[in-house]
Structure 1
Amino acid sequence: MYNAIRFRKALLGPDMEPADDVWMTISDGLITALGTGQGPAGIPSHPAAVAIPGLVDCHVHLALSGGADVEQEARSSDPAARQDLLEANAFRHLQSGVTTVRDLGSPEDAVLHAVKGGGLGAARAPQIVAAGAISSPAGHGNFLSRWATTPAEYEEAINAIAGLGAHWVKLFATGGVITSGTVPGATQMEPSLISEVTAAAHRSGLAAAAHAHGSDGIRNAIEAGVDSIEHFSYLTPDEVALLAESRCTLVSTLVATERFVSSDQRETANPETLSKILAHAPHERAALQQAVRARLPLAVGTDAGTTFNPHGFGMQEQALHLNRAGMDPASVLRAMTVNGSRLLGDGAGYLDVGRRADILCLDADPLEDLGALYKINEVILVGRPVGK
């Protein structure tokens, strides 16, 4: 446990300003004082070159493996095996510098139950902001969701999810890639339905995240007042204009698509799924570039657990994709930390007094080279070093 610590360099505050010779004191997992220069006597120096906030992954599926057919796997896995899997996946995120995740759906609400029951050791898992997902019986994501078709059925599912301690509800505005029989660009929820369901979620105290690839689904989700839109793969200038006037945050998960497309095992995937991802990938790349050019509010997720997208180090890959899409390193780092914490209402996300002491200690400076995010010296979670 760290009670006080000094870093040669750290990125501080919501603007992640670089500062040299930074010291901080920690109590009950929170940063209680912070400054530069001499500071209190006897504060030990950390060997890392740079300290940054722990990464915030806003889109994961801890109960999915990232194998060739996660849909079939989810339908056939038993609760004990699922629990073991999600615990292992949570620790992989922590080891790769991710100190907060938002889980956006699991079979039989496995992650919600695990979090509520305290089944994840505090030293073995990041902070988990858990959502319950709701889909139609044959719709995209049905294998990791409760099922509903009418507003009344959705409201019943929302109440059940809220009762399990969820902070978010995941909705499916469009079809998707990995669910058989669905199409990424096709609308899955009509405008009136997603509006009614989003309002019901907000009445229950839940924020709403919308899976939305197609432009019609993106527009329907914005107009419904959802809090985040995941993927946004067929974004057009019309939706960009709407987003600029909304309070909605986009969550890029391009790494999930790129991992699938580049996998040397992709030919073993379901042929329908493979065909969809290959057709879909160029659109998602272009949509991210468009969002970056328009300076839309952007947070980051990995969609870890989906096809050929295992847990761990996806955020490092995503950082490089964001950079290629036109974001400078400082903006990439803010998207992966500050922006994510603001979206989730999380108490970490940047280093400042009163924030949770979740710190990623690196052996090189990511402002100079985002590849430094792979060079992890230590991960600190609520003031405690994470074991290897």
Structure 2
Amino acid sequence: MLRHLIPVFAFFPTVAHAEPLYVRAGRLIDPEAGQVLSAQVLQIEDGRVVAVRADGALPAGAKVVDWSAFTVLPGLIDCHVHLADVEQSNNVAEPLLHSAMEIGFIGARNAKKTLMAGFTSVHDVGSFRAYADVELRNAINRGDVPGPRVSAVGAYVTIPGGGGEVTGFSPDVSVPGDMRAGVVTDTADVTRKVNALFQNGVDSIKLIATGAVLAQGTEPGQIELSGEMMKAAVDVARQRGSWVTAHAHGAAGIRLALQSGVKAIEHASLIDDEGIALAKAKGAWLDMDIYNGDFIAEVGKRDGWPADMLRKNDETTEAQRAGFRKAVRAGVKLSYGTDAGVFPHGLNARQFRYMVRFGMTPMQAIQSATTVAAELLGWSKDVGAVSPGHYADMIAVEGDPLSDVTVLERVVHVMKGGEVVK
């Protein structure tokens, strides 16, 4: 049964206030202007910011959230998460051990952890159970479960046995059909499957352009989707007023995906100078999970993850970080994406320190998770900033993240749509 498409503004439920709400901020980080303001007050009505000004006298009896002891900034955005799925383990068949119903509850738990960590918006780039992310998005929007605003892709568009498939188990094991909703064999199949994804309510499309580090039987440098197949997906998405991101590790696959018109590249682990220049020329985003490699190396070795996964991680981690540093210097648009779900949800902010270590200023790292990420998602008018007109999505932290970006790993308060949720 087809799911009904939801109007875009339905993705942003608000909390209606009978009277204005005022938030006092001791320090306010404004990523749009790249500056910090002291002693500010934000006026919120119907879940949106309507005014920002120097703190001062407020109306008698005003409803006030006093964050004057904290640094306040927009709610953070992670452009690469997997909420509606099991976390990575040493068992390649783990996704087959959980029912679709159980995945729904797991997704709800992960969504709450993510929100409590200060990430009020996410791009969920796929789960093995088709449309699990779509249903989670809808449940959050209805108020059934707490969680961030979600942009969902529904399923991985991948070749048979490719980087978006459950692989590594006995060949006589049958994989459920809902785990293969995005498996494609040719260009016509891509057009058909991508249209079906949109008909079932997805926001954007995720292509698996190359092999994957964490899928057995695939190699990161190997191209899996042809340029014609990727262009077919891009064409359908454009017709639908949407866009496409591509999982691509290898340099040739990255170039092919960019030439095919994708808006963003996930991972970009083995990107070369030509790929960086092409991304810059096309105004594409790179979404590089440069924390992830250390987690895989440490926990994967400790817990006995498959040897080929650990080998591929070793071959890509430092190369990815070198490419990230080059991309920063080149001025490529770099969005904040972590691949949460490989590591535990709620630890998303650990990547900030890596982004600073590998070339960004703290302000650039914050912008990558606010204004830059919002632009990638097409949500700049609603999230990623706290200027008038934006949703009142914001966090409060102790200390100064511009001096020590790791304070973002310890979010004290979270507001979403004018409601304090932490």
Name the TM tier (shorter chain). over 0.9
Change (3 A) 1:223 1:40: same
Q: 1:332 is matched with which residue?
A: 365
Residues 172-211 of structure 1 aligned to structure 2 (within 5 Å): 172-211=208-247
Report the counterpart of residue 420 of structure 2 in structure 1.
Answer: 385
Q: CA deviation at 1:265?
A: 5.0
Q: Is the 8 A contact 1:62 1:111 kept in 2?
A: yes
Aligned partner of residue 52 in structure 2, secondary structure: strand
- Aligned length, in residue pairs: 384
What is the CA–CA distance in structure 2 between the aligned matches of 1:101 and 1:71, rounded to whole Å? 26
CA contact under 8 A between 1:114 and 1:120: conserved in structure 2?
A: no
Match of 1:155, SS state, is helix
* Alpha-carbon separation, structure 1, partners of 2:27 and 2:355: 24
> Which letter does structure 1 place at the counterpart of 2:76?
L
The aligned counterpart of 2:47 is 29
Counterparts of 1:213-224 in structure 2 under 5 Å?
A: 213-224=249-260
* 1:1-80 superposed matches below 5 A: 3-12=21-30, 14-38=32-56, 40-42=58-60, 44=64, 45-69=66-90, 71-80=92-101
**Alpha carbons 1:100, 1:128 under 8 Å: kept:** yes
- The equivalent position to 1:372 in structure 2, one of 407, 411, 416, is 407
Write the deviation string for residues 8-30 of structure 1: whole angstroms up to 9, x where unpaired: 11012512421111111111211
1:351 equivalent to 2:348? Answer: no
Contact 2:24 2:68 in 1 (8 A): no
- Is 2:287–2:336's contact at 8 Å kept on the other side of the alignment? yes
* Separation of aligned partners in 1, 2:141 and 2:72: 30
Are the counterparts in 1 of residues 140 and 148 from structure 2 also a CA contact under 8 Å? no
1:233-272 correspondence to structure 2 within 5 Å? 233-263=269-299, 265-272=301-308
Which of 226, 234, 238 is the matching residue for 2:262? 226
Is 1:363 the equivalent of 2:398? yes
Instruction: Map 1:161-180 to 2 at 5 A.
Output: 161-180=197-216
Partner of 1:86: 107
Shift of 1:141: 1.1
- Alpha-carbon distance in 1 for matches of 2:31, 2:140: 31
User: Amino acid of the residue matched to residue 383 of structure 1?
Assistant: G
TM score, norm. by length of structure 2: 0.86
Q: CA deviation at 1:186?
A: 0.8
Partner of 2:120: 99
**1-side partners of 2:226 and 2:245: how far apart?**
16
Match of 1:108 in 2: 130
Whole-angstrom distance in 1 between the partners of 2:69 and 2:421: 15
The structure 2 residue matched to 1:135, chosen from 150, 158, 183, is 158
Q: Deviations over 1:268-321 (max 9, x none)?
A: 112221221122212112111111121211101111112xx111122x211011
Q: Which residue of structure 2 lines up, in the alignment, with residue 311 of structure 1?
A: 345
Structure-2 separation of matches of 1:175 and 1:220: 14
- The C-alpha deviation readout for 1:36-90, integer Å capped at 9, x for no partner, is 1425435533254210011100000112232314752223320111011000000
CA–CA separation in structure 1 for the residues paired with 2:145 and 2:416: 8
User: Aligned residue for 1:323?
Assistant: 356
Q: 8 Å contact 1:9–1:19 — kept in the other structure?
A: yes
Contact 1:172–1:210 (CA<8 Å) still a contact in 2?
Answer: yes
CA contact (8 A) 2:335 2:372 kept: yes
Structure 1 residue ranges without an equivalent (≥5): none
Q: Is the 8 A contact 1:113 1:164 kept in 2?
A: no
Decide which of 152, 160, 172 is 2:188's aligned counterpart.
152
The equivalent of 1:283 in structure 2 is: 319
Q: CA deviation at 1:207?
A: 0.8
* Worse-superposed segment, 139-148 or 127-136: 139-148
Q: Which moved more, 1:50-59 or 1:117-126?
A: 117-126
Tell me, yes or no, if the aligned pair for 1:33 and 1:353 is still in contact at 8 Å: yes
Greater RCO (CA < 8 Å, at least 6 residues apart): 1
Rounded to whole Å, the distance in 2 between the matches of 1:168 and 1:323 is 29
Matches of 2:136 and 2:67, distance apart in 1? 34
Larger CA deviation: 41-50 vs 184-193 = 41-50
CA distance in 2, matches of 1:114, 1:336: 22
How far the C-alpha of 1:120 sits from its partner, in A, is: 6.7
Matched residue of 1:124: which SS?
coil
Matched, 1:299 2:335: yes
CA distance in 2, matches of 1:129, 1:67: 22
| Contact map agreement 1:162 1:206 (CA 8 A) in 2 | no
What CA deviation, in whole Å up to 9, does each residue of 1:324-362 have, x standing for no partner?
111111111111111111111221101100001000111
Which letter maps to 1:59?
Answer: H
Q: Is the 8 A contact 2:190 2:229 kept in 1?
A: no
Please give the TM-score of this superposition, normalised by the length of structure 1.
0.94
2: distance between equivalents of 1:123 and 1:177?
A: 32
Contact 2:31 2:366 in 1 (8 A): no
Distance 2:223 2:362 in 1: 35
Gaps of 5+ in 2: 1-16, 167-178
Give identity over the alignment, percent: 28
